[in-house]
Amino acid sequence: MSTQVIVLNGGSSSGKTGIRRCLQAILPTPWIALGVDDLIKSLPPSLTASGSGIALGQQGEVDVGAGFREIEAAWTAGVAAMARAGARVIIDDVFLGGAASQARTREHLDGLEVVWVGVHCDAETAAGREYARGDRTVGMAASQAEIVHKGVVYDIEVDTAKTEALDCARAIAAAVS
């Protein structure tokens, strides 16, 4: 059976978006791409500015409330439904809970053929890129670089500190059937 979902997991500023764009450009069939940033953009202001939603601390730590978790679950169920309805989907996510986040996502994707991708980038390099982007709360990159991979099991792992996004995408594409 051929791959239906590609999950890219990595910390903030680890380079997921660049890889996702390259994947969309080089994969031979059309893949749509949806990630946690798209979910956040779809939220009402009440969930991005309150205790029950998602909030950024002074050091870039991310606090996630119950209101956000509920909507995130419905969102992921919907993205899984897109894949079951025939769309091939690239999901990019930040597994703040490591293995527990993967378990939650795995449950939603039950029955689908998934390629799990670890997008690594050491904390120092990611923090430098966060600076260079200029549109992210400083500190997120460093605080997430390691924890998002804790206990997560991958089919393939790439390292954007050593490999350009396009070459990472080529390696991933080779693992997609």
Residue 110 main-chain phi, psi, to 5 deg: -50, 130
Rule CB under 8 A: say whether 164 interacts with its own copies.
yes
Rule CB under 8 A: say whether 171 interacts with its own copies.
no
User: DSSP character for 110?
Assistant: T
Rule CB under 8 A: say whether 107 interacts with its own copies.
no
User: Strand 5-9 and strand 114-120: pairing?
Assistant: parallel
Rule CB under 8 A: say whether 25 interacts with its own copies.
yes
Of the candidate residues 56, 139, 167, 171, the single one contacting its own copies (CB under 8 A):
167
CB of 177 to its own copies, least distance (A): 18
Of the candidate residues 1, 110, 134, 174, the single one contacting its own copies (CB under 8 A):
134
Which element (helix H / strand E) includes 3?
A: none
Q: What is the DSSP string of 127-157?
A: HHHHHHH-SS-TTHHHHHTTGGGTT---SEE
Of the candidate residues 27, 55, 64, 171, the single one contacting its own copies (CB under 8 A):
27
Report the candidate in 152, 147, 60 with the shortest Cα–Cα distance to residue 105.
152
Rule CB under 8 A: say whether 47 interacts with its own copies.
yes
What 3-state class would DSSP assign to 15? Answer: coil
Query: Is 37 in the active site?
Result: yes
Number of residues that bind its own copies (CB under 8 A): 50
Active site residues: 37
